[in-house]
Amino acid sequence: MKIFCTGASGYIGGSVAAHLAAAGHQVTGLVRSPEKAKAVRALGIEPVMGTLDDGEILAQAAWAADLVVNAASADHKGAVVALLDAVSESGKAFIHTSGSSIVGKRSRGERSDEIFDEDTPVTPSPARAARVALNEFILSHRDKDCRPVIICPSLIYGIGHGAGRDSVQVPLLIKLAKKRGNAAHAGPGENIWSNVHIDDLVTLYALAIEKAPAGSFYYAENGENSMREACEAINRMLGFVGRPTPMSMQAGAAEWGEGTAEDTMASNSRVRAKRAREELGWRPQARGLIDEIEHGCYRE
């Protein structure tokens, strides 16, 4: 199969593209620089030079492919429109990557008991309203003779298998712990995120490509932990004695930026991948987040 993948040099897209190439598919991937082109070519991926703003390049690559995986941005509507216009009326699949912060609420590090599966209505925060609207726009193309599918990962951990190696939250927490000599979380750290290993996420993409029906939406998770629990595991992994330190939201914003601090590091995002398990037979098998931090790739 000929597959075009945006984000081919990134963490999610790179891991998915590398897996598909290793499985024998003919994979092309969008990259922005000669250095990234060289990196993806080494993984068996043919680079396509361009950016998400290059609609004509995106359309041509989508026309030439049997299937499109969009893993570069959850929010770039221009790229989505160019790609969907290219695959509409063709019967081709369009696999789009969203993110479970669509259900997140700014909680300042406090716990929330709200849990969402694919049948739970979502009222997004202002920061994620545009993303939810884009998801709805994508899924509406089920009626335009193509196969739109959305995969919505929770907190992703583990080392990527493409050119992009690192996720977001865990590396940020480890970097801060090394800087301070002790792990730290925003607020009390009781806020909870569902999480999924990159290896299990890649498997979900492969299953979605194979058999997800048009208009499908899948959360991706295999457990959940509070930010405090993650920070405690980081301290154990680094050999730091004592409990992690709470930071004020102002300190968190100074460290990570206001949006990341409020919407990613101090929010709650609790989801259940009900449909992925029931419809696709997805069975996550990788080690859990705490075990991976303490004994897995982050220690290595």
Residue 120 tokens, joined = 């739970």
Give the pLDDT confidence score for residue 250 in this predicted structure.
Answer: 97
| Whole-number pLDDT of residue 149 | 98
- Which residues span the domain enclosing 279? 2-165+194-223+270-285
Distances (CA, A) of 21 to 29, 46, 162: 11, 10, 11
Residue 207 resides in a domain: yes
**pLDDT value at position 166?**
82
pLDDT in the model for residue 203: 98
In a domain, 104, yes or no: yes
Which residues share a beta bridge with 97?
151
Backbone angles phi, psi at 67, to 5 degrees: -160, 145
pTM summary value: 0.96
Stretches in the chain below the pLDDT threshold 70 = 300
Write out the DSSP string of 28-93.
Answer: EEEESSHHHHHHHHTTT-EEEE--TT-HHHHHHHHHHSSEEEE-S-SS-HHHHHHHHHHHTTTT-E
Q: Residue 253: inside a domain, yes or no?
A: no
In-domain check, residue 35: yes
User: For position 161, what pLDDT does the model report?
Assistant: 85
Report the number of distinct structural domains present in the chain. 1
Question: What tokens were used for 247?
Answer: 């930071």
What are the structure tokens assigned to 139, written together?
């899924």
Q: Over the stretch 230-268, which tens digit does the pLDDT of each residue have?
A: 999 999 999 999 999 999 999 999 999 999 999 999 999
Task: Give tens-digit pLDDT for 93-110.
Answer: 999 999 999 999 899 999
> At residue 286, what are phi and psi to the nearest 5 degrees?
-75, 165
pLDDT of res. 163: 73
Q: Are strands 224-226 and 192-197 parallel, antiparallel or unpaired?
A: antiparallel
Q: Is residue 243 part of a domain?
A: no
- The CATH number of whichever domain residue 103 belongs to comes to 3.40.50.720
Does 215 reside within a domain? Answer: yes
Residue 90 forms part of a structural domain: yes
Domain assignment present for residue 290? The answer is: no
